[in-house]
Amino acid sequence: MRRSALALLAIVFCHIGAAPAQQTATPPDLKPWESWVMYGEEFRSCPVRNGVGADTADAFVCAWPGRMRVAVSSGGGEFRQSWRIYADSWIALPGDSEH
């Protein structure tokens, strides 16, 4: 019992530092400047990857895939997928340059 309680405490303390970055509200007087200040830094409005520092654009996830639906038959196939987009991003489509 004591061992499992210690393991639970260790898990809790490990995840305390993994909280998502808090965004502060922009004061109303500075709101018109927000897009100018964020130019080239739009990725900062995206969620931060768990367990990494928010130092570079690679630390942020700006596109999150939803469920993919695939329909394949002898005549061909198609897929549908939704994405949650937080900022302009590139997304990978299934397949390769030939397919």
The count of residues in the chain is 99
pLDDT category at 42 given cuts 50, 70, 90 is: confident
Q: Model confidence over 73-91: pLDDT tens digits?
A: 999 988 899 999 988 888 8
Q: To 10 degrees, the CA torsion angle through 93, 89, 58, 22?
A: -130
For residue 50, which of 18, 92, 80 has the smallest C-alpha distance? 18
DSSP string, 33-78: GHHHHTTT-GGGGSPBPTTS-SSSGGGB--EEEEEEEEEEETTEEE
The domain locations on the chain are 52-86
Q: Can you give the pTM of this predicted structure?
A: 0.54
